Amino acid sequence: MIAAGQALDSVAHGQALDQALRELPRETETAERAAAQDIAYTACRRLNLLDALAARLLAKPNPALDGLVRAALSELISHPERAHAVVDQAVTATAGIKRGAFKGVVNAVLRRFLREREALLADLTQDEALRLHYPAWWIARLRTAYPEPGVAEGIMASGNQRPPMTLRVNRRRADVEGYLATLAEAGLAAVQTGPDALRLERPMPVARLPGFGAGEISVQDLGAQYAAHLLDVQDGMRVLDACAAPGGKTAHILEAADCELLALDRDAVRLKNVTENLARLGLSARCEAADAAKPADWWDGKPFDRVLLDAPCTASGIIRRHPDGKWLKRATDLGQLATIQRQLLDALWQVLRPGGKLLYATCSVFPEENARQIEAFLSAHANARALAADLPAPYTLGHRNGQLLPDQRHDGFYYALLEKA
């Protein structure tokens, strides 16, 4: 619990949660690390409520206890049946802080929460942001974007759940049917959910999955697997993946066709993940660290047949995988990201051949980054037309004009397929 508390403290100081968990002290045991991850992710999904509870229960803020108390409160909310064990665990963890000086405080705070739980939660959750576990600006934007009864609430509820774990089978090394049989032999249940996709009944560490090291499979959400299918890459084509890292979509494209692919990413460290992922899967591409918005720096002047722009965005569609995102992002980020997306679209349109296709993708549910962005692009570019973006039956997913909303099957994504006249 102490490790989960440390990770929550780091998020409060602006660090990403996955990074904070990676940076836990080296001597943290594997099992402790896994437990910390579980507690921290759950707590992060309701962090504003935990902040409000801690403010009520602690007489004054205590930086040494902030993370630990939030982690313990979150566990008490999730597991009322284990209340006493959770309190004991938290109090024991406190022994390591300032030679146990705060043991009494933590014990008193958590026991008070147990006594007053109903009244405290009833009072605090009158505030909608605390009840829904999102910042007020986020709720307001979703309500404006999705005014139909229950839709915005559905998106938010889905964003507070644990995500499904979907695998992509590398067609060059295995097939879905065969891999399902391999999983069944290992006692793991799964169902096919897309042409190359299967969903595990229970999420598990990748290293324990058969064939992962041998490049037979990758972890990739079903919504993300739309990209390679929609882009419709044929053998021999010149393809640009403009924002490629960590390379999930790059790899899927290369598994499907023998094409000449240039993978760009501005972040050289993240780009290394593309190289590593491709090597594991037995694939290759030219990888270059560059700003996709400045073709003069990396383009040889030969037009591309296909361009994938998986643009930087608020990641509001994958918030259940990165719950820190809703607390680290600001309302102003939305406008800034929309400007960057527009610049990328304008720049990359130039490198596409006439008759070629550009797929614009985000993992967002905010229309400012999606439908509004594409409407503006189409009205500014007479040589652009939008094509229907869908998968063949039986894998067609219900989307609204390219907008996939998160549900039990897939995360929230947006796709617009544009053809150049």
Ligand X SMILES: C[S@@+](CC[C@H](N)C(=O)[O-])C[C@H]1O[C@@H](n2cnc3c(N)ncnc32)[C@H](O)[C@@H]1O
Per CB under 6 A, does 245 bind ligand X? Answer: yes
CA–CA distance, 237 with 258 (Å, rounded to integer): 8
Strands 384-387 and 217-219, how do they pair?
unpaired
- Which of 210, 246 has the CB closer to ligand X? 246
Other CB atoms within 10 Å distance of the CB of residue 402? 21
Catalytic residue, chosen from 44, 287, 313, 363, is 363
CA–CA distance, 77 with 80 (Å, rounded to integer): 6
Interface residue with ligand X, options 65, 176, 244, 384 (CB under 6 A): 244
* 111-119, 157-165, 195-203, 259-267 -> range binding ligand X (CB under 6 A): 259-267
CA–CA distance, 24 with 33 (Å, rounded to integer): 8
* Binding positions for ligand X, 299-318, rule CB under 6 A: 310, 312
* Binding positions for ligand X, 124-183, rule CB under 6 A: none
First vs last Cα of the chain: how many Å apart?
58
Strand partners, 390: none
**CA-based nearest residue to 270, from 66, 44, 18:** 18
Interface residue with ligand X, options 246, 275, 381, 397 (CB under 6 A): 246
Other CB atoms within 10 Å distance of the CB of residue 416? 26
Per CB under 6 A, does 267 bind ligand X? Answer: yes
Per CB under 6 A, does 239 bind ligand X? Answer: no
Question: Shortest gap between Cβ of 290 and ligand X (angstroms)?
Answer: 7
Per CB under 6 A, does 272 bind ligand X? Answer: no
Interface residue with ligand X, options 229, 249, 320, 357 (CB under 6 A): 249
- Which of 224, 237 has the CB closer to ligand X? 224
Question: Shortest gap between Cβ of 294 and ligand X (angstroms)?
Answer: 8
Interface residue with ligand X, options 247, 317, 367, 412 (CB under 6 A): 247
Other CB atoms within 10 Å distance of the CB of residue 369? 27
Decide: 9 and 66 in contact? Cβ < 8 Å. yes
* Closest CB to ligand X: residue number: 243
Q: Which helix (H) or strand (E) holds 22?
A: helix 17-22
The verdict on whether 287 is a catalytic residue reads no
What is the residue type of 83?
A
Per CB under 6 A, does 18 bind ligand X? Answer: no
CA–CA distance, 362 with 242 (Å, rounded to integer): 13
* 11-19, 82-90, 241-249, 298-306 -> range binding ligand X (CB under 6 A): 241-249
Applying CB under 6 A, the residues found at the interface with ligand X are 224, 242-249, 264-267, 270, 291-293, 310, 312, 344
Query: Which residue numbers are catalytic?
Result: 363
